[in-house]
Structure 1
Amino acid sequence: MSLPRGIDDIPTIVDWSQTSLYVSLFSIAASPLLWNLIGRNEYKNRTLTKLIGARTACFILGVSIFLAGLLRDVLYRIALHDQPRYPLPYEIQAILAWIIFGAGNFLVVSAYFQLGFWGTFCGDYFSILQEKRVTGFPFSILDNPMYFGAEMCFVGAALWYERPAGLLVALYVHLTYAVALRFEGPFTAMVYANHKSPGIQKHE
């Protein structure tokens, strides 16, 4: 099967009739939307903190975000399998997929070890703040390595399963995260700017 050429071939590489595609797109957008809404409400109203304490509430939210990410990945793979496949020469496909997917996961994991659980999973919304700004790798080369790493994983999976539609989904992921960062970045800066004494705040 020859590779598609030109914009006129886009309908042949994406099966827009597959419900799994839209479910996947919804799951991708839902996670950052929900954790931003919950986090902002928590910072303003302390709804969960008043009920169960800041660290317990943040832990539950963090686990929920992690599980939602796993579900998002499963739904993405289901969507890929429902899309048209365009075989590539095995060596090219395998090498590119492993390099991109591996590098993406490396960025995500290394960023997690720099931030820790609270820094990764919205601790700032619960006033559980870092002692100082994290500048070690991968933050020394990227401002948002977790988001960028996740985007790379979507690209790597699209190449591994040989689904061009996955590359369009990866672009959608990039745009979704770009929008999320326009809200998260200034909000996080405001949280730290309004915090009077440096150091991690302990809320039990």
Structure 2
Amino acid sequence: MLALDRWLQETPILLEGASPDLKRQRLRRSLLWALLSLVASHLLCYLDVPAFLEIAEHQLKAPVLFLREHRARSVSSTALVRLDHSDVRAALISIILAPILWNGLARLEYHYRLWTRMTRGRSVFAHRLFSHFIIACSTIREYCIHRAVRTSSVWSLTHLHHGAEIARVLRFWGAFLYATGAVLSLSGFWRLRLYTYMPEYFGLFCSEMVSSFPFNVFSDPMYLGSALMHFGYALWCRSSTGLVLAVVLSLVYWVAARLIEEPFMYKLYAEEFRRRGMEQQREHLEHSVDIIRSTTACVKMASVHASKKCT
């Protein structure tokens, strides 16, 4: 425990500028969420969704008969997630690697001005280039996820008595989640425009905090919207692989937002507000000096004019 406290005080790798209590709280919470997500991902890999839906159907009609049938039946092949499949591995790698890449390159820009030097000192153009890099990484990740879901098995509901109705219900909720996530993501992007993609690392700051929808309801609406869209896509396609990838994506988003991006953004804005306050004080001081100088000049002119009258 003492070693953990010392690490939290001396090694601000993920939570730069934060207090040790905040670091300890975020670290415990992240470990808990990581454990829960790993357990959920492991369970989803072996979750027989068609059999689970059949449970609900049979329990309403003949629970005893269902228990006898379910005991002799193995897990459906359409519900398994093949983690050894190349498309699933590529999707997992792209999900984990994408935020690591853009956060690492953003830190290089903050500490060494990498992107600004590449664009010969044009910070605005460097930020636009970095924004297109993030969009390209997200596009590649979405392609990998789409391919992994499309090549995986689909939940077979044909053996259910109400299989067609259940499929329509799953499609409805999938479309609802996807539409909700799209509204959150697009409205957040509309509010921030290019300020969505880490402009603080390039010295570009918003003049004031955005407090309109969706930021008045959610702290990270675009990450939340993207996660909801992936959950909705998985339900629409009736894919266990899609659900596992959506859980992993949500965990990666939570770690990136809460432990890496958000604390460092607060630190950068605190430095910027401190710099603006010093500039305002310097401008006020220069203005006061100008007033004193003008007053002194007026007094000198008045004294000279009075002395001329006396002579």
What TM-score, normalized by structure 2, do the two folds share? 0.59
Whole-Å separation in 1 of the counterparts to 2:204 and 2:228: 29
Whole-Å separation in 1 of the counterparts to 2:89 and 2:267: 35
1:188–1:9 Cα change, 3 Å = farther
Give 1:4 deviation, angstroms. Answer: 3.6
Aligned to 2:155, which of 86, 97, 120?
Answer: 86
What amino acid is the match of 2:192? L
Unaligned residue ranges in structure 1 (runs of 5+): 199-204
Whole-Å separation in 2 of the counterparts to 1:134 and 1:164: 37
Whole-Å separation in 2 of the counterparts to 1:47 and 1:24: 28
Identity across the alignment (%): 25
Residues 120-159 of structure 1: pairs in structure 2 closer than 5 A: 120-159=196-235
| Residue 185 of structure 2 corresponds to residue 108 of structure 1 | yes
| Deviations 1:77-125 (CA, angstroms, capped at 9, x unpaired) | 11012222104623212211111001101100000111121x1111111
Whole-Å separation in 2 of the counterparts to 1:51 and 1:108: 30
- Which structure is higher in helix share? 2
**Which residue is 2:40 aligned to?**
none
| Deviations 1:53-81 (CA, angstroms, capped at 9, x unpaired) | 21111111101111221221111011012
Residues 1-204 of structure 1: pairs in structure 2 closer than 5 A: 3-5=50-52, 9=75, 12-52=79-119, 53-87=122-156, 89-117=166-194, 119-181=195-257, 182-195=259-272, 196-197=275-276
RMSD across aligned C-alpha pairs, in angstroms? Answer: 2.1
Give 1:152 deviation, angstroms. Answer: 0.5
Q: Do 1:158 and 1:166's aligned partners in 2 also have CA atoms closer than 8 Å? A: yes
| Deviations 1:129-175 (CA, angstroms, capped at 9, x unpaired) | 11111111001110000100000111011011110221111110111
Whole-Å separation in 1 of the counterparts to 2:76 and 2:207: 49
Q: Do 1:93 and 1:159's aligned partners in 2 also have CA atoms closer than 8 Å? A: yes
Whole-Å separation in 1 of the counterparts to 2:94 and 2:169: 30
What amino acid is the match of 1:77? H
| Deviations 1:14-47 (CA, angstroms, capped at 9, x unpaired) | 1223110010011111111111101111111112
Q: Do 2:50 and 2:76's aligned partners in 1 also have CA atoms closer than 8 Å? A: no
Whole-Å separation in 1 of the counterparts to 2:156 and 2:76: 16
**Greater RCO (CA < 8 Å, at least 6 residues apart):** 1
1:57–1:169 Cα change, 3 Å = same
1:171–1:2 Cα change, 3 Å = closer
Unaligned residue ranges in structure 2 (runs of 5+): 1-47, 56-73, 158-165, 278-311
1:168 is paired with a residue whose SS is helix
Equivalent pairs counted in the alignment come to 196
Runs of 4+ in structure 1 off by over 6 angstroms are none
Q: Do 2:188 and 2:222's aligned partners in 1 also have CA atoms closer than 8 Å? A: yes
